[in-house]
Amino acid sequence: MGAVRTAAVRLRLTEGQRQVVAAFLIGLATGVAAAVFRLLAQFLSHASRGSSAWWLRPLLPAAGALLGSLLARRFAADAAGHGVPVVIKAVALGGGRLRSGAVAAKTLAAAATIGSGGSAGIEGPIALLGAGVGSGLGQLLGIRSSPGLCSW
């Protein structure tokens, strides 16, 4: 993503201005990702409720939880935990880097659980999704992490 850094140099953006631009991009991308996550959970909810026989409906939350568990164990086994604790661990121990595959797997697992009627909220998955977007864009833009600072 050298083009972004080159544009920042040509525009003579200060460090603070570059951080504001990065924060704006991360916020915008996170908002879009959160909206897509909600739509996916709603779609799965409508699909599972509308096409199943009445006697299968009590089993849907268990099926969604099983699918979510399998996704998380298969593709995100190293990122054990829920949204916010995973983010805190990544910031404290991993320099703020999150694996995009683990974020995607945990997001899909949460959507499957929520969409099938399982007992889960959207706040933790959206926090993890936002952190994943921030981590990915930070890596893409070449932002280096240091205690209390970010720099390009």
Domain regions of the chain by residue span? 2-143
pLDDT at 34: 92
Q: Classify residue 52 by its DSSP letter.
A: S
Of the pLDDT bands very low, low, confident and very high (cuts 50, 70, 90), residue 3 is low
Quote the CA–CA distance of 6 and 87 in Å, as a whole number. 30
Please give the distance of CA 103 from its chain centroid, rounded to a whole number: 5
Q: Which two tokens stand for residue 137?
A: 């864009």
Give per-residue pLDDT as tens, 26-61: 899 999 999 999 998 888 888 777 666 777 777 888
Inter-residue contact 112 to 40 (CB < 8 Å): no
| pTM for the structure as a whole | 0.73
pLDDT at 151: 46
pLDDT at 144: 66
Phi-psi region of 8 (alpha: psi -120 to 50; beta: other; left: phi over 0): alpha
Phi-psi region of 95 (alpha: psi -120 to 50; beta: other; left: phi over 0): left
Helix or strand run (H / E) with residue 150: strand 149-151
Query: What is the end-to-end Cα distance of the chain in Å, rounded?
Result: 11
Helix or strand run (H / E) with residue 144: strand 144-146
Angstrom distances, CA of residue 87 to CA of 17, 50, 81, 108: 25, 35, 10, 17
Give per-residue pLDDT as tens, 87-109: 777 777 777 778 788 888 888 88
Quote the CA–CA distance of 15 and 11 in Å, as a whole number. 12
